[in-house]
Amino acid sequence: MRVSSIIAAALLPASTVWSSPVESEALVARGASKRPNHPIQPFHPGKPFPDSPSRTKTCTVKSNGNGKDDSTNILRAIKTCNNGGHVVFSKGTTYTIGTALDLTFLKHIDLDIQGKLLFTNDTDYWQANAFKQVFQNATTFFQLGGQDVNVYGGGTLDGNGQVWYDLYAKNNLILRPILFGTIGLHGGRIEDLNLRYSPQWYNLVANSTDVVFSDINISGYSSSSNVAKNTDGWDTYRSSNIVIQNSHIDNGDDCVSFKPNSTDIVVQNLMCNGSHGISVGSLGQYKGTVDIVKNIYTYNVTMSNASDGARIKVWPGVSSALSDDLQGGGGSGAVSNITYDGMKLFNVDYAIEITQCYGQKNLTLCNQFPSNLTISDVTIKNFSGTTSKKYDPLVGYLVCSSPTVCSDINISNITVKSPSGTDAFACANIAGIESQVSCRAPK
């Protein structure tokens, strides 16, 4: 799918079928919320999203109160209302979750979270029992998957992150759960939710298709001197036909990151603060694996107080160690048909960064063993704003490890300025880049 097909697809009508007015009124009378109806706009990945039939029964989850584990009540309600029902987590109620819940069996169900889901701070339990995913030692508090699942309601999921931020400062090899695990979901909408204090990434979308995330509010920082690290907003992995839109993210790592084999994804209308940008990657981490990221369209993003705006990060062709718990290099693959269209920047270190030396501080060694992963057909356009003082006078970094692995990089209408008023980029090994931006040799 080319970029042009994504643009054309913006005119496609949304195909999801919502409840009829009579059915909606009956559900609301039983304490249920009406389903949101946030249109996918202005851009659409191109493939229609599946229909979501009306629900015919309602189950309300009871809370034990006093911080007692409500996992059994939650699971009972979900199993009762699976295959055509609507599960209500009541407004003003806190539900404590102290048990890892495997919810990958869901089918034709709405989870209406009006109250708060609070995960316990039992770090020993969660390290032993959270669901292990296959990428970067990721684990999740729960895993939600199946077919035709909608989650909404205006409520909150709280990961009780402070205890994890403090523990990670003592031992960076601990396994910190991801707050929201969308694992093997085919057809669904996750909307109108507040995500707070995740121990690590806020969202992992893995092995999923046809999922829309809309109107999500993400926030949560440390109250101690131990920073909340690796708190990505979304990470997509082995997933396609995904939309992430209309959301506000305050976090401490990538706002959105497209991990290996992420395809046909639209990200639009986001406000990101404190992040590491909208990132393709990191890729090429595992030797012997092939990572593909293609057909990505990012539109209308505001990026504030961040390390990067648009970012493509690839591991070199030699083993490297970014930290004790993150190392790799030597994998292969391709990044292609990537568009960043429209970004407003405020106090961002690099407006645009392309690097194939991720995790490798020794640039000589990185150039000696260039990345096995190609980057091609990239369009970055319509950026405005200011960078921070960190790399002044540079506003960006466009460096490939070899001219043979980067091609067709197109950058236009970039009006970003450094604090000193310059608009220079560090550039190397990208054909034709000197005619597009003001280049300086990287140090």
Whether the bond between 63 and the residue before it is cis, its omega within 30 degrees of 0, is no
* Catalytic-residue membership of 276: yes
Residues 38, 44, 86, 276: which is the catalytic one?
Answer: 276
End-to-end CA distance of the chain: 37
Q: How many other CB atoms are found less than 10 A from the CB of residue 68?
A: 12
Q: Positive or negative CA dihedral for 433, 435, 438, 440? A: positive
Q: How many residues does the chain have?
A: 443
Question: Please, which residues bridge with residue 383 across strands?
Answer: 343, 414
Q: Pick the closest to residue 328 from 349, 351, 359, 297 (CA basis).
A: 359
The residues carrying an active-site annotation are: 276
